[in-house]
Amino acid sequence: MKKLNILAGLALVLLAGAAQAKDWTEIRIATEGAYPPFNFVAADGSLQGLDVDIANALCEEVKAKCTIVAQDWDGIIPGLLADKYDAVVASMTITEERKKQVAFTDKYYSTPLSVILPKDSPIGNTDPVSFNGKTIGAQGGTTQADYSEDVYGKAGAEVKLYPTADEANADLVNGRLDAVVSDKFPAAEWIKKNGSECCKMLGDIPGTQSETGIAVRQGDNDLREKLNAAITAIRANGTYDKIVGKYFDFDIY
């Protein structure tokens, strides 16, 4: 009788698990929309960029209907946890701190942190002591913000955090900052398109290479594995390289 009760209990657990399983034929995805060239709002109001293209390619690979929405960076993880969407494809760096809240897929690109400066800046290297007494900007809630506060701030720099990278860059242009710490690829894109007259790339910060992944809720392991398989597939079939080639003339993986 005890065996029968145990078996019955196991059956109920399995049935409950089956009832809760999702087929993921529809996936809601959030991106920031303020981090070109990875995600931005085009003139026609559409979301575009490498993150958006990757998200669409993954959805096509898993044969899912996807809806992509813009979400401010500060609320992007809370929105995921509140079930406003199912995944975040927004150039989110994989960190141990974020892993306490969300689960990540395998990486879909890697990037180091870099420093950008006014062209006439006397600062010659990224060593923290070079920024003693200087004012550094970074987007809040990011790895570059953490690095700026933990390393440059402790070396005597004043660190100012901004809601978006564009706002930090604008203060650099207007002379309110001595430097901005950013992921290398969007920083290079900004200099090429908007900051070439005023600013320059100082260089990469040694030891800051990090991986970017897709965030999902910790309980949605089936979605995470589905997306992992899709990342592998688009890397193998050439779709990934075609997307990256639209934005960069070098490998970012």
Q: How far is CA 170 from the centre of its chain?
A: 21
What are the pLDDT tens digits along the chain (253 aa)? 434 444 444 444 444 444 356 889 999 999 999 999 999 999 999 999 999 999 999 999 999 999 999 999 999 999 999 999 999 999 999 999 999 999 999 999 999 999 999 999 999 999 999 999 999 999 999 999 999 999 999 999 999 999 999 999 999 999 999 999 999 999 999 999 999 999 999 999 999 999 999 999 999 999 999 999 999 999 999 999 999 999 998 899 9
Peptide bond before 37: cis, by omega within 30 degrees of 0? yes
Q: Which residue has the tokens 């529809």?
A: 26
Give the pLDDT of residue 129: 96
User: How many CB atoms within 10 Å of residue 191?
Assistant: 18
Beta bridge partners of 40: 34, 48
Q: Helix 221-236 vs helix 50-61: angle between axes, to the nearest 10 degrees? A: 100
CA separation (Å) from 171 to 73, 77, 166, 198, 242? 19, 27, 9, 12, 34
